[in-house]
Structure 1
Amino acid sequence: MTKASAQIDRLNATKARILDAAREAVALSGWQEAQIASIAARAEVATGSVYRYFDSKADLYAQVLARVSQREIDVVAAIVDSEGSAAQRLVDAIYVFSNRALRSRRLAYALIAEPCEPEIDVARLKYREALAAQIGRLVTQGIASGEFIEIDANLAASCVTGAFMEGLVGPLAPEAGSDTRAAKAIAQSIASLAARMLFRHAAPKLKLVSKRTL
C-alpha cells in the first residue's frame, strides 16, 4: 500500500467514524439537539476536524440520513425481489420496515418527520421517494397478478407509504416503549392495515408473523 492510499484509507475511516457518531447522536436526541462538539467527542476527533469532512452541520446530517436510509431501502428492496405473492411480500416489506423503525423510534422520527433544516429535508424526501418506489414495484406486480385493485401504481404506493409512516411516527401513533413483543404486534397491525387497502378481494391468507430476518 502506498503512502497516498494509506492516507486516503485513514481519511475515509475517520469520516465513517464521524458519520457513525452522528447517527448515534441523532438516534438519542434528534437533529436539533445533537451537537457537533458531542459528535466529535464520540468520534474521537477535534470539533474543528469535523468540518474538514463536511461543509456544515446540515451537510453532515444529510449524509447521515442518506447513509441510514439507504440501508432501509436495501432491506425493503431485498424483500421486493424475493419469491412469494405480491400481497405477502408487501406485508413482509411493511412489517420489517416498521419493526426496525420501532426498535429505534427516535431515529425513525428523525428520518421521517422531525422538523429539520432544508438540506436535511431534501435528503429525507429522496428517501421517502425511494421507499415509495420499492412499494410501487410491488403494487405493479400485484395489479398484474390480479391480487390488487386496478389503480395507478405510483398513487397507490404513495398512499401506502404515507399510511405506514404515519402509523409509526404520526401524532396518534401507538407507543411500544422498549417492549419487543408490543413493537412486533404494532408492526404486524400496521403491515396488515396498510396492505389491505390494495387487495382486490377479501384478505388472502397471509402469515401474521413475518419470519424474515430483520
Structure 2
Amino acid sequence: MAYRETEMMRERKAQARQRIIECAWESVTTGGFRSARITQIASMAGVATGSIYRHFESREELFAEMFRLATQHEVDRVAQALTGPETAAQQLENALRLFAERALRAPTRAWALIAEPVDPKLDEERLVYRRAFARLFEGAIRDGVLDGSLPEQNARLASTSLVGAIAESLIGPLAQASPEPCEAADLKPNELVDAIMQFCMQGLTGTRSQP
C-alpha cells in the first residue's frame, strides 16, 4: 500500500517549517545574515540540524523564503500608509517616512533586508523587493497627478528614483550594524528622515517639504 501523508502530519510539517523560518528571522534580526547559522537556527527551533534540510534544500533557500516573507510584511505596511483621506502626495510622504523610520528603529534588520552582502539568490530577491515598492509608489504618483497634488511627470521613472534615493540614503547609517561599518550620517534619526523626505518630496513636487 502506498504511503499517504495524513492531514495531521501535513499540519505538523507546516508548523515546523514556519517555526524554522521564524527562528531564522529572529537570528537575522539580532545579528544579520552573517551571524545566522543553521545549527543555531535548528537549536532555536528545537529540531535537529538535518530536519531543516527536509524542509529547505539549502541554507540559501531558507534565507530566500524568510526574506520573501519579511519583505512582504514591509511592503504591506507601506501599502497601508498609501491609503486614507489625504492627498496622494501626502500619502506618499507618509509611506516614505514610515519606510525610513522603521529602518532606523531596527537597523540590523533593515541592513539585512536592504544591503547586507549575502549571496546572488538574496540579491535577486532584493530586486523583487524594490520593484514591489516601486509599483506602489508609481500608483501613488499617478494618483497624485490626477488629484492635482503632484505635477505631471513620468510616474514609473519617478517611482524607481524614489526607491533608489531612499535606500541609498539609509545605507550609510544602517551600515553601522554591518561587520564593516562605513561613515554614518552625522544627523539624529529624526533629522535624517526629515532630510530624506525633503529631498524626495522636492524632487516630486518641485517645492520644499516641511518637516
Q: TM-score range by the shorter chain?
A: 0.7 to 0.9
Residue 65 of structure 1 and its aligned partner are, at CA, apart by 0.7
Q: In structure 1, which of residues 97, 100, 107 is the aligned counterpart of residue 99 of structure 2? A: 97
Q: 1:14 & 1:76 partners in 2: Cα distance?
A: 29
Q: 2:58 & 2:84 partners in 1: Cα distance?
A: 39
Q: 2:183 & 2:54 partners in 1: Cα distance?
A: 41
Q: 1:88 & 1:188 partners in 2: Cα distance?
A: 14
Q: In structure 2, which of residues 56, 75, 92 is the aligned counterpart of residue 73 of structure 1? A: 75
Equivalent AA in structure 1 for residue 69 of structure 2: R
Q: 2:137 & 2:106 partners in 1: Cα distance?
A: 22
Q: Does residue 189 in structure 1 map to residue 195 in structure 2? A: yes
Gaps of 5+ in 1: 177-181, 209-214
Call closer, same or farther: CA 1:184–1:15 in 2, change over 3 Å: farther
Residue 186 of structure 1 and its aligned partner are, at CA, apart by 3.0
Residue 93 of structure 1 and its aligned partner are, at CA, apart by 0.1
* Deviation per residue, 1:127-147 (Å, 9 max, x gap): 111011111111111122232
Q: In structure 2, which of residues 148, 155, 167 is the aligned counterpart of residue 146 of structure 1? A: 148
Give 1:211's aligned residue: none
Call closer, same or farther: CA 1:84–1:132 in 2, change over 3 Å: same
Residue 117 of structure 1 and its aligned partner are, at CA, apart by 1.0
**Identical columns (%):** 34
Q: Choose between structure 1 and 2 for higher RCO, CA contacts under 8 A separated by at least 6 residues.
A: 1
**CA RMSD of the aligned region, Å?**
2.0
Q: 2:208 & 2:194 partners in 1: Cα distance?
A: 15
Give 1:50's aligned residue: 52
Q: 1:175 & 1:70 partners in 2: Cα distance?
A: 31
Q: 1:24 & 1:69 partners in 2: Cα distance?
A: 14
Give 1:134's aligned residue: 136
Q: Is the 8 A contact 1:167 1:174 kept in 2?
A: no
Q: 2:132 & 2:60 partners in 1: Cα distance?
A: 21
Q: 2:76 & 2:82 partners in 1: Cα distance?
A: 10
Provide the secondary structure at the position in 2 that maps to 1:198. Answer: helix
Equivalent AA in structure 2 for residue 93 of structure 1: A
Provide the secondary structure at the position in 2 that maps to 1:192. Answer: helix
Give 1:15's aligned residue: 17
Q: 2:63 & 2:150 partners in 1: Cα distance?
A: 38
Residue 184 of structure 1 and its aligned partner are, at CA, apart by 4.0
Gaps of 5+ in 2: 173-181
Q: How many residues align?
A: 198
Equivalent AA in structure 1 for residue 118 of structure 2: C
Q: 2:130 & 2:7 partners in 1: Cα distance?
A: 36
Give 2:113's aligned residue: 111
Q: 2:40 & 2:194 partners in 1: Cα distance?
A: 37
Residue 185 of structure 1 and its aligned partner are, at CA, apart by 4.2
Moved beyond 4 Å, runs of 4+ = none
